[in-house]
Structure 1
């Protein structure tokens, strides 16, 4: 409600081209009926120039000041808020959701007039009810209307008791607090006008979103979509994708639709958690016929639900800016309540394959990627993993084999070693057999690593030669290899021809500030690895005397022994 009873303010509104298309407005109110909106617009027009009214197409009528360009709209809103001349929940929006103009009656869209000199707003006292009249009008409210008021008070932060429609001491205290916050007499009984303002504040966020019932026949889904924030972009089975309407926006809606069974529901549950739009932190719940995934980080909040019924999996994902929690909570409830299943599911052939396909994406959505990835290998029957320490202290979490969370148990910064421990005992298919004997120079060796950063599921063997028992600086704790390794190979085991571990590959960045020639790599020696593991309380597995392994056997050993270590 425009506050004119207690203060008078000066307004400076610059004239702009009177054009509804591609223009911006300061919306100050929305009313559910034409008569209420017209009354508000008429009163507002006596105080502020440039008042217009438009039907929003969703049962509400908007009262707005404009038109402006975007920067002028932002500046005008700030000036009016500072002057306390417009409601605190007023916001800037473009004209796309405006439909038929109802104010000025019979008039064209006109820009606010230029104020040649500061002109104070007239002070006016709007008629309202006495406490006795307010209580009388309150007594005619239905239970649903009373519960709506409690819900609105709760949303505004003034009420935290049950939504039961009973106006007891808690509700009265909440009403009084709302009145104080809105510069009204604190009677604890809301007048008809105050009730309307409270509900309008509660619904203002939805009005700004331009919620529209959207029927996606191809997906067999109907629900409310915030058309002011997202626009349809494409079909990418099993998703119907709505992306942010602004380049800088993080808002997103996905409709989920596919034929399937319980196994495919479980698969979808796992896939959704791998996506970049589903942050790691948050609740996850899976039942036989449905799942819910919530996630939140410093940038976005994400909510996904899906349900299996009659061989069809349907649901939706909502992604919203994390600093707009109140809007997200209201919007999510509205979308959940409006969700309706129609006949059919999204045809997998609706979107033909394109050149944009990538192993780092699922249906056009980016899979969450680690900060960096490297190699490691099992050193105990319970699943301890040895890897390179460099950079791990910067990780918020560490995983191996894609999703097993690990913690750093012991480190040796001088050697560059880190021992990772799983949350529960694992059963690796192979454990490193560490050969502490001095190897022979020029022996053929291989590193079992992930040179492509995990693009391939299993380790790759990269072959080379033991070039020296010291590094370039003469340090006897490191061996030099003639072996072309990639950064993500670091942490991988160096294997001899029998499959025994004779070292662990280090990152080249840790060895020199200079750019080394291709084919120069370094490794921690096996004797130091064995001593490190013993100090950490692990028993080093005894060597099994074997003959040289065949290439096939070496490849199989590498797949069982090596693991991808990811830093997030």
Structure 2
């Protein structure tokens, strides 16, 4: 049975669809850390543990989860933290605490003693009250969401035909709008809604889009405004929200987007899944840990029977392919390229492109993920690939629109910066065809003739998702 494929598309978006997006954050308050004296935060090499950062992590994680979440939530309202409230400590939380300490006139340590923690929580609560931010169930849809009622005092019911409909909150001048929507089981399809939201028009630019089996996220902007869209699917149907606002209000609303997203609970009557502890280097929402995700995770490309090429971190011991032990055949330390011997699925690898990637060329990236292969669209740039690649994409094959192999994604940063739980488009270095051929030698996939007519991302994924496997380091 083919594995599921997730699509992550970067490009231009059309009009706003009725619904919007789901659950990256179904959390509540959470918070912070005890006291300790350490030097000010300083830059660190990804390969060398930073004792200052580790001290801050230990102090933060010593607190109960509810307190950790409360601190992150207060940092959102203080304007220092722009990620998902999870209670997990990462570089984003560390820097947010330091920034708040600096603005408060204290020494930036990344560690909150009791008086500082109390002051931060009080400041966050004062900002929430000033916005009259009320988290409550929406009677029209059943979802729970936070609404800044000072900014959005106008409230009306949205007609839904045969579906439950929704609610609209709006500013007095109509420039800020928050809509909730719900559809009963069978009345809407998450894939179709995502495709509708991601239609290409010259008037709407998508800055990030993410599709997973049970939720989607789309963010972007128009010439005059910005928007955030989420859909969530569950046994009760599909629920979501859309937030749209003009750029004149962006300074305040950009922070409000994070607070609203963190408050969103699409199905409050359902038992939430037990959260999985995220990778230590990722500051963002918890993600399921699979054979292709987690500490030291990468993507491998099957190039032949029991042969997988991957790009591994500098210190990688006991590699595993799809959870099974693998043997290191050879490795190039400079590029991270590694050829592994291990169990491989029956998928066929893509043929090599007839020419190197050219700047401006559209590209497709297939990476291993917790729910199967993920597909990310991007564009070749002079210095690499511009795309919103997620942790675990190192070593992922980069294909042209004909499904021919252009390159592999090189090593990714050890400390990715997530915004609202997602990694924005960045330019990532690549391992080109020449370096790949030189390393693989006789194990190099066959070259192909001239490129065929362009294929859709879904068609490319259907052909080659079986040749992508998750690789982890350590037993």
Normalising by the smaller structure, the TM-score range is: 0.3 to 0.5
Rg larger for: 1
Normalised to the residue count of structure 2, the TM-score between the two structures is 0.36
Normalised to the residue count of structure 1, the TM-score between the two structures is 0.30
Higher relative contact order (CA 8 A, sep 6+): 2
